[in-house]
Amino acid sequence: MITKDTPVEEILQKYDVLEYFLENGVSPFSCAGAFPQSLGKLLEIKKVKDPDAFINGLNKLIEEKSQ
C-alpha cells in the first residue's frame, strides 16, 4: 500500500508505474535519478491538486496489475 510517506525510489523499484506518474503530470525520475524523497513531497513540489486521488489511483493500478 503506497502512502504519502512511501519513498518514490521504492515505488519505481517495486512497481511498473512510470506511465501513471507521467500521465498525471508528475515525473518521478530525472537526471538526478529517482526522486530521492517521499511521494507526498514530490506531489507537493509538483503542485498536484488532489494528492489523495493521485495516490488512490496509483494503489488501484498496482492492485489491478497484481491480479
Partner 1 sequence: MSKLIDDNYKLFIDGKWVDGKEGKTYKEYNPANGELLATCVDAGKEDVDMAVNAAWKAFETWKDVSPQERAKMLLKIADLIDENAEKLAMIETLDNGKPIRETSAIDVPLSSDHFRYFASAVRTEEGQAVMIDKDTMSIILREPIGVVGQIVPWNFPLLMAAWKLAPALAAGDCVVFKPSSETSLSVLELAKLMSDVLPPGVVNIITGKGSTAGNYMLEHEGFRKLAFTGSTEVGYTVAEAAAKKLIPATLELGGKSANIYFEDAPWEKAIEGLQIGILFNQGQVCCAGSRVFIQDTIYDKFLADAINAFEKVKVGLPWEKDTQMGSQINETQLKKILAYIEIGKKEGAKVATGGYRIMDNGLDKGYFIKPTILVDVDNKMRVAQEEIFGPVVCFIRFKDEDEVIKMANDSEYGLGGAVWTKDINRAFRVARAVETGRMWVNNYNNLPAHAPFGGYKKSGIGRETHKVILDHYTQMKNIFISLTENKTGLY
Report the interface residues with partner 1, using CB under 8 A: 7, 9, 12, 18-19, 22-23, 25, 27, 29-37, 41-42, 45-46
The set of cell numbers assigned to 13 is: 523499484
For residues 55, 24, 66, 4, the Cα torsion angle rounded to the nearest 10 degrees is: -20
Q: Please, what is the minimum distance in Å from the beta carbon of residue 67 to partner 1?
A: 22
Q: Which amino acid is at 63?
A: E
Q: Please, what is the minimum distance in Å from the beta carbon of residue 48 to partner 1?
A: 12
Nearer of residues 42 and 55 to partner 1, judged by Cβ: 42
Q: Please, what is the minimum distance in Å from the beta carbon of residue 53 to partner 1?
A: 19
Per-residue CA distances from 45 to 37, 41, 48, 61 (Å): 11, 6, 8, 23
